[in-house]
Chain A
Amino acid sequence: MSHKYISTPAYQLVEEFRSDPQKIHDYVDAIYDRIERVEPKVRAYITIRSRDEVHKDVDMLIKSGNYEGPLFGILVAVKDNISTRGIRTTCASKMLENYVPPYDATVIRRLKSAGAIVLGKTNMDEFAMGSTTETSAFYPTRNPWDLSRVPGGSSGGSAAALVAGEATLALGSDTGGSIRNPAAFTATFGLKPTYGLVSRYGLIAYASSMDQIGPLARNTRDLALLLSVIAGYDEHDATSLPVVVPNFVKLLDEYVHREQRLRIAIVKELFERSDISVQSVAGKALDRLCSIHECDEIELRYTKHIVAAYYIIAMAEASSNLARYDGIRYGLKVEVENRSWIDVYTEVRTRGFGYEVKKRIALGAFVLSAGYRDMYYIKALRFRRMLKEMFNEIFKRFDLVASPTMPILPPKLGELVADPIKMYLADINTVIANLIGIPAISVPVGFYNGLPVGLQFMAPPLAEDKLLYVSQQLEDMLKLRDLIAEVS
């Protein structure tokens, strides 16, 4: 499917708009027409800005005369846990249903100064706690390739919006795979940057030591373009890395030009643990890649434990980060007169949080509590160091580590949430990168019975350039780019 504007890559649109800025208005209308048609079925968004408002933004943008912004005129879908001044930011929770941030997240400021326009806020698992976008307090998002299936999560709305043609670029956040998982399930490209490469200022925290905002796109070059805009040191985020961020698009061209050979480690266990369908599609693509690079199988111990350690740390931090929601300064309001604060807080938090959130913060508080902390939390952190050292060793011999992004195909709605351990174990391939702060990418590599399969690559800290390079090569080989699902 290739309607004018709907599937056009951002890097091409920007060129077109620079020579004729009035075209941005036509583009906006095309996207809004598309949204009107498919959104009732997909439900990718929680909040969509009005067409008029966006047209006004376009007028202001054109008037500003700043045509040189790298995202000049591009409509971006933003996950609803990234603070947008004046646009409500709900985290897909009743708790924040009417919360309007008084400030922009750093990435939003960067988008705006790059000439991009925020189109709307996308659906997600409540407070990013989930892998399917089903724990949203409002409604689940459907996978545009098969409406009976989930789009993955927690950034499911962002990925679905892209592949349904409801935006050109999207931002997600990734704490344990929340960008890569929906990217794999929707045949889009998603990248989780090195921890600290993109500012977290304004990202509503789930697990602060692992959260990262990252780009989603329909091709590698757009992914690199968006990453270049959002990455960089931010004085508001003390965990922001003080590094000079390269122009990833230029770097990508250089790599492709040089045809550099990389050493790729293939994690045997992570392939073997995957469904046969996933193994076959991912394996075939990897074989083609290995014809130009040097590939070798490696073993990875403790795969199950990785997931346990991840969930202990994530829940512990979540219990702390979500303590602030008490309905007093913002968020869900209840009557306060003649009531004790414990009463009021308990009511607000009981009504404001869904089951999965309540469960995770309760367990998180438990693993931090006196008497259990060493048994769970501290142990998980010891494991984290061990894992980091294991990967330090691997990266002495390899440039990249490959595995399927998800061990399964996109499940039907309700299928995964029923069994929490099964759901948590589905994150096994993605959580490694978050636990140790390294970058990882998911690249679409094929379909199985019409359902997308993604391949994941991990790299050492700040080696995003290499991830983008293999992504571009796979894209060129497989021609799985700029895909738009029919939605029917």
Chain B
Amino acid sequence: MQREDLISYLERLVLVRFTESERKRIMEEINKILDFFKSLDEIKELDNYEPLFHVHDIEGPTREDEPSHEVELQRSDVMLNAVLEKGYVKAPRTIEE
């Protein structure tokens, strides 16, 4: 992929836009950073190791199916940062134009 195309692809992937000056800067940096990341290819024995997702080998805990009192207390506050209309959160149109 061309660098210019790559930037546009990334913008769409994470829904951000770079300004003109940022674009220039990131095109320079992205080459360096991806090359830097590529340095892992130098280590041949890497394929002998399984990917490590969680640093500790612990058993995932679970929770009982019981409503929490604590949650009840927070109920009235959790929506304070949203714009509401008749209790609904106001959001943009959902069609893709």
**A→B interface (CB under 8 Å):** 98-100, 102-103, 195-196, 209-210, 235, 238-239, 241-242, 302, 304-305, 307-309, 311-312, 319, 323, 326, 328-331, 333, 336-346, 349-350, 353, 355, 358-359, 361-363, 365-367, 369, 376, 378-386, 388-389, 420-421, 424, 435-437, 461
Which of B18, B30, B51, B89 is the one whose CB lies under 8 Å from A382?
B51
B43 x A383 contact (CB < 8 A): yes
Which of B13, B33, B49 is the one whose CB lies under 8 Å from A421?
B33
Bound Cα distance from A461 to B56, whole angstroms = 9
Residues of the B chain whose Cβ atoms lie less than 8 Å from the Cβ of A420: 29, 32-33
Residues of the B chain whose Cβ atoms lie less than 8 Å from the Cβ of A195: 55-56
B15 x A342 contact (CB < 8 A): yes
Interface 1/0 per residue, B46-62 and A, CB below 8 Å: 11011111111010110
Interface of A, secondary structure class, is helix
A242 x B61 contact (CB < 8 A): yes
Nearest to B61 among chain A residues (CB) is A238
Nearest 7 A/B pairs, CB to CB: A437-B55, A381-B51, A330-B81, A102-B77, A385-B52, A362-B10, A344-B92
Which of A99, A241, A382, A461 is the one whose CB lies under 8 Å from B49?
A382
Residues of the A chain whose Cβ atoms lie less than 8 Å from the Cβ of B54: 209, 239
B58 x A196 contact (CB < 8 A): yes
Residues of the A chain whose Cβ atoms lie less than 8 Å from the Cβ of B58: 196, 239, 241-242
A330 x B91 contact (CB < 8 A): no
Q: How far is the CB of B44 from chain A (nearest CB, A)?
A: 12
Contacting residues of chain B (1-51) with chain A, CB-CB under 8 angstroms: 6-7, 10-11, 13-18, 22, 25-26, 29-30, 32-34, 36-37, 39-43, 45-47, 49-51
Given contacts A242-B61, A342-B96, A336 and B91 within 8 Å (CB-CB): yes
Residues of the A chain whose Cβ atoms lie less than 8 Å from the Cβ of B17: 346, 350
Residues of the A chain whose Cβ atoms lie less than 8 Å from the Cβ of B7: 362
Nearest to A302 among chain B residues (CB) is B43
Bound Cα distance from A461 to B55, whole angstroms = 10
